[in-house]
């Protein structure tokens, strides 16, 4: 079983500051098999390749490595 955790938001919750978000989100992805994890990894790599690493200038180049 593979469990991936991601968080987004502000842990400080200092609502007196202008840039403090009022939301905090936790996301879990649970893959029960290695095959599911590989398919998810392939989808992420494809998205990075197609959406971020486009064009000759590579202004938003994200290196695609073996993350998992």
Q: Residue 32 domain-assigned? A: yes
Evaluated on CA atoms 10, 14, 18, 22, the torsion sign reads: positive
Total domain count for the chain? 1
In-domain check, residue 44: yes
pLDDT in tens, 43-59: 888 887 777 766 666 56
What residue numbers bound the domain in which 35 lies?
2-52
Q: Does residue 63 sit within a domain?
A: no
State the residue for tokens 């998205």: 47
> How far is residue 28's CA from residue 6's CA, in Å, rounded to a whole number?
7
| pTM greater than 0.75 (yes/no) | no
pLDDT digits (tens, 9 = 90+) for 18-38: 777 777 889 999 989 999 989
Output the pLDDT for position 22.
72
């Amino acid at each position: 079983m593979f469990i991936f955790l991601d968080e987004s938001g502000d842990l400080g919750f200092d609502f007196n500051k202008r840039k403090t978000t009022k939301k905090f989100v936790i996301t879990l992805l649970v893959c029960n098999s290695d095959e599911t994890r590989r398919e998810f990894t392939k989808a992420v790599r494809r998205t990075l390749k197609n959406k971020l690493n486009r064009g000759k200038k590579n202004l938003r180049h994200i290196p695609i490595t073996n993350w998992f």
